[in-house]
Structures are given as structure tokens and as C-alpha cells.
Structure 1
Amino acid sequence: MPARLLGFLKRPAVAGTGAAFILRGLTLVSRFLLSLLLARMLTPAEMGDYGLLTATLAFALLAIGLEFYSYTLREMVPATPARRTRIIADQIVLGVLALVVIGVLVLVAALGGLFPSRLAPWFLLILITEHISLEATRILIITERPVRAYVGVFLRGGIWVYAMTVLMFATPSTRKLETVLVWWALGGALAIAFSAVSLSNLPWRELRGYRPDWNVIFVGLRTARPFMLSAAGALVISYVDRFVIDRFVGREALGIYTFYSTILIGLLSLGGSISHQFLPKVISGYAAGAKAYRAALRTFFWSLLTLALGTTIISGLLMGPMLNILGLSLYASSIWVFYAMLPGIFLRMMADVPSYALYAARSDNYLLFCNLGAAFISTLLNVLLVPVLGMYGAALTGGIASAVLFFFLALLAWRKMREDCREPGATATVGLPTDPDMLYP
């Protein structure tokens, strides 16, 4: 029996899946550790600076990437190695142009006092490393190297947190925001170097003399447009509250709110990781017919419900005692903000089920409508409620926007499930929904 078990574990598919889950788990744990570390080492105002920087970074990454990977996925899967290098080259050209525009905007904002000038260089450096490493990770996944992709994710978002934790405890002078930014950029650089080695077997020499294919780039942008708008809606729901709190309540309150939202975005990323494991099954089920489609969604629903309920309940029970043990009395005094945020994050996690159901059915317009509608509600309610209720207004808004998103996605998915699915075998290659790695603490 032990020999059979050992042989089973040594199978490439099993070992690869296990390694991917371990790396993903270590990365998610590092996000939780990072939130606790920042709360211990930084002042609430510095935590607020960090919250604004990460929120701005999320939108800037979307502006640079333009969700172009939703097009490259469709093109790379059947492409030859030489064709893949040309697709990557076209994407690099697009990214460089977008980066130049974003860089100019950041410079103007810093000179105009709209962005902290001391953080602007670090912001741009992290933006470059994050974008390149994120796109490299997606390319590794597309080219069927998931374990290497998750090693890159761990380097980009995990290992540097553990190293920085040791450094901050050993050297008190390093307990400042700039240290976090230095190590963050270093993690991205390590991920880029590893990805470059992993992709070195592609025929890059054939790009000599190659000129960007602007027709392909424009076609890709048109393909990616609905995905970009949907991703923008998701980011607005996740981050617009930080800007409103900073404007109407203050940077210190934003630091407390950022601490809690960091933990909850980590839970959302965990749910997104699980959801991505079910995506191929949901797509295959839709292609196979109504019965298989519903069976795949049923399994997906119960699996995600178990995870979402378990994580939210455990988080709610442990947060208070954990803050008391760590001596974070300032954050503990606002613990009810965290409790008020839990229903919203639970509904955001569960919204993946109807979202993926619609996605598999290629109902892109429904997804776009729901995400943009929820983003509008989130923005409006934050502006109305935060000046009156402070952080509690932002937490309440998150719950309402998530409930609206979940309700309309579920309603539209139910309607789609009642319709006839495709004929068996009528498969189609589609891009991925919003990447959970786009969400930052």
C-alpha cells in the first residue's frame, strides 16, 4: 500500500498539481502575514499610504495590460513556437506604449501634488516588475507550464514577504514603508528572471527584423475590450472605497481599513484560485449539454460554498483574539468594521459561480452589465455613505454592491441554465475571467 501511494504521488500530473497547490498556499499565507507585519511595523497613516499605492497600482496594471491576455490565450494555444514569440513581441510593444503613458501621468500627478513624490519612483518600478511578471505567469499557464507559473507567482508575491519579515524583526531601522516597496520590487525582478529562463526555449532568434503587426494588436484590443471593462468594474468594487475614505475620513482611518481589506482580499484570491480549477469543467459541461453543464455548476457551487463559509466564519472567530494577542489595540477598537465587511466578501466569492456559468456560455454582455452596474452602485454609495458613517459606510457599501452583483449574476445564470445548451462537441476556446492575481492588498 505505501509503495502504491508513493508511486501515485510520483506521477507527473499528481506531483505537478500538488506542487501548484503548495506554492499557491504559501503565496496566500504570505499575504496574510504581510497584513499583520505592516500593522505591527508601520503607523496607521503609513498603512494608509500603502493602501492608496496598492489601489492605484491595481488600476495602473489594468491600464498597461488592457486585458490583452484574453486575446493572446486564444491565439497561443494552437500557435507554433515561432508564432508564439511574435504574439509575445506584439504584446511587449503594446505594454511599452501603455507604460510610457502611465509614467507621464504619474509624473504629472507627482508634480501636481496628487501623488506622493517620494513614492512615485517605487510605484513605477513595482508597476514595471509586476506587469512583466504577471504577463509572464499567464504565458507560462497558456503554454502548459503551470508549476513554473506558480513558482513565478510565489517569487512575485510570496517569498519576499517571508524574507522581509525576518529582516524587520532583526533590524528595527528597516521598519518603514520604503523597505516593503524595495522587497516587493525585488520579488517581481526574481519572478521575471525565473520566467525568462523558463521561456528561453522559445525561438526568440527568429524575431530578428520582426516588426509589430499593428493589425493583430488592434484586433486583440477589440477582443479584450469587454474583458477590460469587466475587470475595471471588479477593481472599482474592490478599491474605490479606499480613495473615498482617504478623502472624507483621513489617512489613519484608511490604514485601519486597508489592514482589514488586505486580509479579505486574500480570502477572495483564495476563492478565485479554487474557482479557476473549476473553469475548464464548467466550459466542458456547457459544451457537452444541459445536464453536464448543471452538474458541473452544482459541484462548483457546493465546493465554493464550503470554502466561503468556512473561511469567513473562521476569520470572524479568530480576528478579535488574534488582534489582542498581537497587541494591535488600535485595530481591535475597529473590529466591527471587519465584521461588517465579511458578508460582502462572502457574496463576492460566491458570485464566481454564476459568473463562470455565464462566462462558459459566452454571455459576455451580461457579465459586463453586472460588473459595471455593481461598480456604479459601489462608487455612488461610497460617496454618499462614507462622509456620514466613515469606515462603516464603506463596509456597508461593499456588502450592498456585492449583493447586487451576486443577485443579478445568479438571475441571469439561472435564465441561461433554463435555455438549451450547445450541441455536444461544439467547443470553443475562450479567455479567462478576471484574474484573482490582479487584486492586491
Structure 2
Amino acid sequence: MVAGAARLLNIGLRFGTLLTRFLFVFFLARYIDPTSVGYYGLFTATVSYGLYMVGLDFYVFLSREILQVSDDQRGAMLKGQLTLCGLLYVIVLPAFVLILMLEGWSTSLLCWFVPILALEHFNQEVSRLLVVLSDQVAASITLFVRQGSWAIAVVTLMIGFPESRNLNVIMALWACAGLAAGALGIWRLRQLPIGGWSKPIDWRWVGKGISVSAAFLVSTLALRGIQTADRYWMESLGGIEAVGAYVLFLGVAGTLMVFLDAGVFSFSYPALISHSHKQEYSLARKTVQQMFFQTVAMSVAFGLVSWALLPYLLHWVGKAVYQDAVGLYPWVLLAAITNAVGMVPHYALYARGFDKPIIYSHIAALPVFVISTWCLSKSHAELAVPISMTISFTLIMIWKAVAYHRLDTNHLPPKSSA
């Protein structure tokens, strides 16, 4: 009963965040010009890409390791991760900012980039840690503060005060929410039985983590490269207003993954890791099957509901640039669903420690995206980007599904790294 109540509360919190973010993109489209929506989309995509540069995907290694040690050893692990990230900020961030300056970013966006990147990174790592330690409700509360609260505040201000309808107000409230979520996350972590903070950093362990994470980082940067380059490529094909329309539809379709994270993945993948360590293959298989059917059911339901509601929401927004681009949405939605279904074998492989299919599929998807977009752009204009994303995610999904089928058939034991 307690577990069921926790899942319902978790889903409720995530659904509140999902609904808030779903509506937020429409309020943005209604109250600020399409050009600003486009720049907001470029900013968020670049922040998301930057998270991997300063985090090195170290959590991929940490998530498996931290569940295998006692509470009094976990603090030393986390201290090692914090130190590593601090070094990465010193090395990577100046070069990253210089590149953005050369790309012609405005001074105001550059000033917001560093604090928002740092806050998003810290809160993301805290949320991941809470999920791994099976404190999903606390993770969902911090997520709502981090993503939902400031969206509500922005919409309230834009409705009541027309002068607040600009990117600077949006960025300021985003940063304030990040600070609040960070404070809440620290408070919750202090309540958990995590000891060993006074122990010295095990640099050999950190080095092992870097070697494991580096392989994942290459694949993640390839995948995130698709989800960052798409906006910049869309700008080159249709202009910044086309990016605004694309971002609107991405915001709608992207809420599917938020809901799946809350109701399916955040509960299933810690169990998958546990079953894999114990070599309980029949239980792991059952969990994967449940994940698959739940993911497909939620994806179909989401697709039908969002497609039915979209014309009414676009009419409410009342701007022709979005209504004229509605043909983008079916492809954006299909890409989101394909990506969601592909996460089922992804988590199954990750839990067993078989990282190579994940890494190779992500790396292979990037040139497929580039080649597909280049070829299709000559005949399909802006549709080339979402069609190519669908092709790339389909490749990833099939690759991982085949790899998991072979793994499950052969009953191979868990691995510790790629």
C-alpha cells in the first residue's frame, strides 16, 4: 500500500510538472514573439548539451556503483564526483562560453548561461541520486520546483504585467527556481543515511569512473548533438521563427518522456539493477516486459490526446506561424514515441552493464541524422529535421532491442563496464 501510494504521489507530482510544462510552451508562444521563442529553444538546447560537458556522464558509473556499497562509503563517492565536476568547470566552461561568443550570442543570454547551467547540473545530479536511492517522491518534488514552479510564475507575470514578456524575466525566474530546488535537494540528502564524507577521495575509483563514463560521454554527446543540432539546422532551413514553431511542438511531445520517467522508468530501472546484480533473470525479464507494455500504452494515449488537443491550443495561441507549421508535429511526435520505446531496452542493457550496444547505437545515429537531414532538406525543407530524428531514433531503438534480445536469450552475466 505504501509503495502504491508513493507511486501515485510520484506520478501526481510528475504529472503536475508535465502539465505545467505542456501549457508553458503555449503561453510562451502566445505572449512573446516567435523569434524570442526560437532563441529560448536554442538556449535550452545548448544548456542541455553543456550539462554533459561539465558532468562527463559520470552518473552512469556512479548509479551502478553506489548501490553496491554500504551507506558509510557513499559520501566518499559523491565527494569524488563533486571534485571531478569542479575541475571540469574550470577546464571546459571558459572554452564553451568563448564558442558561444563567437556564435554571436547576445550579452544577456551569455550572462544567464553560466549560472543556469550550473544550477541545472547540480539539481539534475541530485535528482538522479534520489531516484537511484529509491527516493522518487523527493526527486519529483525537487523536479517540480526546478521546472514547474518558475513556469507558473512566468505565466502569471506575463498575464498580469505585459512588460515582463521578455527573455530576461524568464531566465531570472528560471535561476531563482534552480536555487530553491538546490536548497531543497541538499536538505533532503542531509536526511538520508549517507556517510563517509570525511574519507579521502579514491582517485583510482574516480579514474575507473572516467574510463567508463568517457565511452558513454561520446555516445551521449552524439545523441545530444542530434537534439541540439536540430534547432540550429532548423534555423538555417527556415529562420529563427521556424525554430520557435519547432520548439513549441518539441515542448508538447517532450512531455511524454516526463510522464514515462515518473510512472515507469524511475521505478523500474533501480529494480532492474538489483535483479541484474542478483542474476534474477526471470524477474528482470518480467520487469522489462512490464516497462514495454506500459510505455507503449502511455505513448499511444499521449499521442491521441495531444493530437486531438493541438488544433484548439494553436487557435488559442492565435499566431499563423505556428498554425502554418503544424505539419511538423506528427513527425516530432513519432520521434518522441520512438525514443521512448527505445528507452526500454536501453535500461535493460544498462542494468546488466552491457554498455557497448548503447554507445555504438548513439554514435551511429549522429551520421545517420546528418546524412538524412542533408538529403531530405533539398525536397522537404523544415520537415527534413524531424523526419531525420525519427529515422535516427528508430535505428537506436532497433539496435538496442536486438542487443537485449541476444543478451536475454544467452543469459549472459552482468558486466561492470563497457
Query: What TM-score comes out, normalization by structure 2 length?
Result: 0.90
Inter-CA distance 73–359: structure 2 relative to 1 (3 Å threshold) = closer
Aligned to 1:260: 249
Identity %: 24
1:213-232 mapped onto 2 (5 Å cutoff): 213-232=202-221
Inter-CA distance 75–257: structure 2 relative to 1 (3 Å threshold) = same
Per-residue Cα deviation, 1:189-220 (whole angstroms, up to 9, x for no partner): 00111112222357999857x76543332222
Inter-CA distance 109–237: structure 2 relative to 1 (3 Å threshold) = closer
Aligned to 1:365: 356
Aligned to 2:61: 71
Aligned to 2:151: 161
Inter-CA distance 242–92: structure 2 relative to 1 (3 Å threshold) = same
The structural deviation recorded for 1:342 is 2.3
1:200 and 2:181 matched: no
Inter-CA distance 361–46: structure 2 relative to 1 (3 Å threshold) = same
Inter-CA distance 277–211: structure 2 relative to 1 (3 Å threshold) = closer
Aligned to 1:435: none
Inter-CA distance 406–84: structure 2 relative to 1 (3 Å threshold) = closer
Inter-CA distance 386–268: structure 2 relative to 1 (3 Å threshold) = farther
The answer (yes or no) to whether the contact 1:236–1:378 under 8 Å persists in 2 is no
The 3-state SS of whatever aligns with 1:200 is helix
Aligned to 2:24: 34
1:88 and 2:78 matched: yes
Inter-CA distance 19–289: structure 2 relative to 1 (3 Å threshold) = closer
Amino acid at match of 1:238: Q
Q: How many residues align?
A: 416
1:120 and 2:95 matched: no
Inter-CA distance 107–93: structure 2 relative to 1 (3 Å threshold) = same
Aligned to 1:309: 300
1:313-392 mapped onto 2 (5 Å cutoff): 313-386=304-377, 388-392=379-383
- From 395, 408, 411, the equivalent of 1:417 is 408
Aligned to 1:46: 36
Supply the distance in 1 between the matched residues of 2:48 and 2:86 (Cα, whole angstroms). Answer: 17
The structural deviation recorded for 1:389 is 2.8
The structural deviation recorded for 1:403 is 1.9
The structural deviation recorded for 1:56 is 0.8
The answer (yes or no) to whether the contact 2:150–2:174 under 8 Å persists in 1 is yes
Further displaced range: 53-62 or 135-144? 135-144
Inter-CA distance 360–186: structure 2 relative to 1 (3 Å threshold) = same
For structure 2, which runs of at least 5 residues remain unmatched after alignment? none
Amino acid at match of 1:109: I
The answer (yes or no) to whether the contact 1:164–1:183 under 8 Å persists in 2 is yes
Per-residue Cα deviation, 1:334-361 (whole angstroms, up to 9, x for no partner): 1111123222222111112232333344
1:91-102 mapped onto 2 (5 Å cutoff): 91-102=81-92
Further displaced range: 407-416 or 361-370? 407-416
The answer (yes or no) to whether the contact 1:275–1:304 under 8 Å persists in 2 is no
Inter-CA distance 283–176: structure 2 relative to 1 (3 Å threshold) = same
1:405 and 2:385 matched: no
Inter-CA distance 269–235: structure 2 relative to 1 (3 Å threshold) = farther
The answer (yes or no) to whether the contact 2:51–2:121 under 8 Å persists in 1 is yes
The answer (yes or no) to whether the contact 2:10–2:136 under 8 Å persists in 1 is yes
Aligned to 2:164: 174
Aligned to 1:3: none
The structural deviation recorded for 1:119 is 0.4
The answer (yes or no) to whether the contact 1:44–1:252 under 8 Å persists in 2 is yes
Supply the distance in 1 between the matched residues of 2:299 and 2:312 (Cα, whole angstroms). Answer: 21
Further displaced range: 185-194 or 107-116? 107-116
For structure 1, which runs of at least 5 residues remain unmatched after alignment? 1-7, 432-441
The 3-state SS of whatever aligns with 2:106 is coil
Per-residue Cα deviation, 1:203-238 (whole angstroms, up to 9, x for no partner): 999857x76543332222112223323322332333
Further displaced range: 210-219 or 260-269? 210-219
Inter-CA distance 144–311: structure 2 relative to 1 (3 Å threshold) = closer
The answer (yes or no) to whether the contact 1:234–1:375 under 8 Å persists in 2 is yes
The structural deviation recorded for 1:397 is 0.8
CA RMSD of aligned residues (A): 2.7
The structural deviation recorded for 1:88 is 2.1
Amino acid at match of 1:338: Y
The answer (yes or no) to whether the contact 2:73–2:195 under 8 Å persists in 1 is no
Query: What TM-score comes out, normalization by structure 1 length?
Result: 0.85
Supply the distance in 1 between the matched residues of 2:97 and 2:227 (Cα, whole angstroms). Answer: 25
